[in-house]
Amino acid sequence: MTEKRKSGITLSIVNNKGGVGKTTSAVSLAAGLAAGGQRVLLVDLDAQGSASLSLGLTRVDLHPGAAEVLLEGHQIRNAVRKSLVPGLDILPGSMKLASADLALSDMKGRETVLKTALAPVLSEYDFTILDCPPSLGLLTVNALIAADYFIIPLTPDYLALEGLVNLMEAVERIRAGIGKTAAPLGILLTLCDNRLNVTEEIGGMIRKHYGRLVFKTEVRVNVCLKEAPSFGKTIFDYDAASVGAECYRELTKEVLRRVSEQ
């Protein structure tokens, strides 16, 4: 672990289904790590640019960003921005990423473009967090190859459970075809409403099947997590005493423990 930490750890936040708290988890984990004194780079790979906007960037701040770096050969150092959170930098996403899969498909070494682009700056950060689009296209494949580990945010409902099975199978196919992908660090249950029987039922099924792979931390439903991005703030800056902030503080501790055990 000591040798790995010298060059930093890269984590992909992955799910091919939208609405599971993926960007919220990416931003909150990145902010939680930064609050603990880690140097963090958040890479926004989603065309919506939601992670970037959640950290207070405006639409005019999104260029140059990830699209220019990956698709136009722009130097990553000139595209990374400092966020309002001390210790947390961001490589912005933008609508230009909407056509990234098509553009990448014509490139040589198309699966490793992101890994190559990140290489010059990885040693400057303790953690690099990749917020992936809600698909298993080439951008997500690039993220899985560039990362050391991946985290799957998952809502406790039947359709999400089916999607999890498909996602894990897809990762195995990618690994078989390319030879190397990130290892799973954990499955994160999000948007948990303990008032609903289905939350306990599906959550129990997931824990029974995947065991220790499922994080002990569960992110409970909390209105503050929905409100914070509209103010361009992390959950910790918006309401540090909220349930959402407490959940992501616990997740941050658990991620650090798991990484240290690898």
Assess contact for 37 and 87: CB atoms under 8 A: yes
pLDDT at 207: 92
pLDDT of residue 160: 79
Q: Distance (Å, rounded) from C-alpha 235 to C-alpha 228?
A: 6
CB atoms within 10 A of CB 48: 17
Q: What is the pLDDT of residues 65-106, one digit of tens each?
A: 999 999 999 999 999 999 999 999 999 999 999 999 999 998
- Structural domain spans, the chain: 2-261
Does residue 116 have a pLDDT over 80?
yes
- What pLDDT is recorded for position 178? 81
pTM of the model: 0.93
Looking at residue 173, its pLDDT comes to 87
- pLDDT, residue 190, reads 96
Question: In the CATH scheme, what is the code of domain 2-261?
Answer: 3.40.50.300
pLDDT given at position 7: 65
Percentages helix, strand, coil for the chain (3-state, rounded to 5) are: 55, 15, 30
Contact of 123 with 160, CB cutoff 8 Å: no
Cis ω for the linkage preceding 64 (within 30 of 0): yes
**Residue 140: pLDDT band with limits 50, 70, 90:** very high
Integer Cα distance of 226 and 135 in angstroms: 22
Average pLDDT over residues 108-117: 93
Least confident of 4-8, 128-132, 166-170: 4-8
User: Helix (H) and strand (E) counts for the chain?
Assistant: 12, 8
Q: Tens digit of pLDDT for each residue in 1-51?
A: 333 345 699 999 999 888 899 999 999 999 999 999 999 999 999 999 999
Beta strands 40-44 and 88-91 are parallel
For range 193-198, the mean pLDDT: 85
